[in-house]
Amino acid sequence: MYRYAKLRNRVTRTFGMGADEVAADPFIADLVAALSPDRVKSDGAHRALLSHDASVFDGGNSGPVVFPETTAEVAAVMAAAQTHGRNVVPRGAGTGLAGGAIPLGVPVVVAVTKMDEIHEIDTDNGIAWVGPGVVNLDLTKRLGPLGYHFAPDPSSQQVCTIGGNVANNSGGPHCLAYGVTNAHILAMEVVLPSGEVVMLGGLDAEPAGYDLRGAFVGSEGTLGITTKIAVRITKNRPEVRTLLLSFDSVTDAANTVSGVIAAGIVPAAMEVMDQRITVAVENYVNAGYPRDAAAVLLAEVDGLAAGVDLDAERIAEIGRENGATNVKLAGSDEERALLWKGRKTAFGAIAQLAPDYYLHDTVVPRSKLAEVLQQTYDIAERHDLVIMNVFHAGDGNLHPLILFDARDEGVLERVHAAGAEIITASLDAGGVLSGEHGIGVEKQKFMDRMFSSDDLDHQNRLRQAFDPGCRTNPGKVIPTGHSCADIQSLRSIPKEVWA
């Protein structure tokens, strides 16, 4: 089992590593030769920090950390890792929630944060070429004056990288209308585990051959490392209307969402937050979220003025039919920005309520939203836990959040038991394992609930076509028994490498 990142469930680390030990490691010598000494870090502080991402999982100390700046440097790192038989884990901003970037098997961590250049913006063709370390929101900000934006907008968009978005096929509130990351990636330069550099996809409308680009998007770092990405850029719509609807129950909010979709309206975004999370968010942003509503629905429509006014009025009507107690239209861009800031920082606001949280990510058919939501509250109550829900209601993507304090004896067992039941309930309702956070190490053990043994074996064969040695982000996604990597042995530290 993985160690948990917090406090006493942790094993004490050793920070010190003798200079001799580092100098004696020929792998590190090769990395230094390929990059430069200041961009290869092998001290304990660096290796301990990268033991985790934003999830509750902890992979133990990583191996050395490298900060490449060019494709050639990434290729050299990959080649050195291959020569020395070492594992590789790519990393963006480390905001993943499924443990996808934690280091298993003392890998070299390839931090792409320095590859943060926006190489080219081509508004004629609606394309931008970016480095994998470009922060999602930085691209949108750069595109703003040109009248464009990058449509996938994960809640962590102010910090997460586009390389990470590609790896996780990230979603976001506005993916309801615009599609998730996969719909916005045209081509990628990729360094394969062998060190070979290839181009996947293309700028043509219908690139020839198998869609390897499609296979790579969402592969969670198990197929290679992107070094340059051609993304689709989206023209800003002339008008936006943002509605905030309050309800006396989460069920009413969920039914409103189903009603809006059934009415044939495709809003740009539809987000629901229950009362607990709304209060925490309002404490931080002061955006005017009601503290006394059992649930709020944030709905946004965009397009031409006449259309958005009509849609906004229809959504308000459907809300009232489903028991909305209040409907408010954001009066200004500032108010709209503040409402979204609240929604997008919701997870970070949790520490106001509890020092730890476990955020889940499942998808259910929209018609089952209300039912599964109620189940999550019941499950939490059975396990004596506090749960709150904030979710991309429009596409049925649930984010139940379990609050806890890791210092409480035995609480982690209950958190995990409740989490497993939530996943089971979602799958039983005809849903899927993950909407956007990925499988990582978090949901491997549930993969056989979604896929047959044959399915999993074939997924592993696809992976091996890219990474025959199973050294790139080993131990993630594909579960034990179907994975080419020996996951059990990755969890203990291999004898031949220092830790």
Partner 1 sequence: MDLKLGADELNTCVQCGLCLPHCPTYRVTGDETMSPRGRIKLMREVQLEDAPVTDEVIDAFATCVQCRGCEPACPSGVPYGHLMEQTRETLADAGQMTPVWLRAAMKPLSQPKLLAAGTAALGVAKKVGLVPDRLGLGAADIPLRQEPLPTTGTDVYLFTGCVMDTMQRDVHRAGLDVLTAAGFGVTPTGAEAPCCGALQAHAGLTDETRGLAEKMMRSLEPERPIIVDSAGCGAAMKEYGHLLGTEEARVFSGRVFDIQEFLADHVDKLPTVEPLDLRVAVQDPCHLRHVQRVHEATRVVLRPFVRELVELDDDGLCCGAGGAYSILQPELAGQIRERKLGSIDRATPDVVASANPGCSLHLGAAGVDTIHPMELVAKAIRT
Residues that bind partner 1 (CB under 8 A): 5, 7-8, 10, 12-16, 41, 43-46, 48-50, 52-54, 67, 93-95, 111, 113-114, 116, 133, 135, 137-138, 141, 156, 158-159, 280-281, 284, 345-352, 355-357
The residue among 61 and 251 lying less far from partner 1, judged by its C-beta, is 61
Q: How far is the CB of 161 from partner 1 (least distance, A)?
A: 10
Q: How far is the CB of 369 from partner 1 (least distance, A)?
A: 26
Q: How far is the CB of 46 from partner 1 (least distance, A)?
A: 6
Q: How far is the CB of 255 from partner 1 (least distance, A)?
A: 29
Q: Name the 3-class secondary structure at 145.
A: helix
Q: How far is the CB of 283 from partner 1 (least distance, A)?
A: 8
Helix axes 333-344 and 275-285, enclosed angle (nearest 10): 120
Beta strands in 214-318 (DSSP E): 225-232, 234-235, 239-247, 269-274, 295-303
Determine the straight-line distance between the first and last CA of the chain, rounded to whole angstroms: 18
Q: How far is the CB of 144 from partner 1 (least distance, A)?
A: 9
The residue among 15 and 120 lying less far from partner 1, judged by its C-beta, is 15
The residue among 252 and 282 lying less far from partner 1, judged by its C-beta, is 282
* Residues facing residue 191 across a β-bridge: 197, 225
Q: Name the 3-class secondary structure at 143.
A: helix
Q: What number of residues does the chain have?
A: 499
The residue among 12 and 488 lying less far from partner 1, judged by its C-beta, is 12
Q: How far is the CB of 356 from partner 1 (least distance, A)?
A: 7
Nearest to 270 by CA among 258, 278, 288, 282: 258
Tokens describing residue 403: 């609050």
* Residues facing residue 40 across a β-bridge: 66
The residue among 271 and 467 lying less far from partner 1, judged by its C-beta, is 271
Give the Cα separation of 45 and 178 in Å (integer): 41
Helix axes 250-262 and 369-382, enclosed angle (nearest 10): 160
The residue among 10 and 449 lying less far from partner 1, judged by its C-beta, is 10
Element (H, E) at 386: strand 386-392
3-state SS string over 57-105? EECCCCCCEECCCCHHHHHHHHHHHHHHCCCEEEECCCCCCCCCCCCCC
Q: How far is the CB of 226 from partner 1 (least distance, A)?
A: 16
Give the Cα separation of 135 and 179 in Å (integer): 19
Q: Name the 3-class secondary structure at 361.
A: coil
The residue among 110 and 447 lying less far from partner 1, judged by its C-beta, is 110
Q: How far is the CB of 158 from partner 1 (least distance, A)?
A: 6
DSSP one-letter code for 383: T
Q: How far is the CB of 221 from partner 1 (least distance, A)?
A: 17
Taking CA atoms, 210 is separated from 202, 213, 216, in Å, by: 12, 9, 12
The residue among 356 and 436 lying less far from partner 1, judged by its C-beta, is 356
The residue among 6 and 314 lying less far from partner 1, judged by its C-beta, is 6
The residue among 326 and 345 lying less far from partner 1, judged by its C-beta, is 345
Give the Cα separation of 18 and 471 in Å (integer): 27
Q: Name the 3-class secondary structure at 154.
A: coil
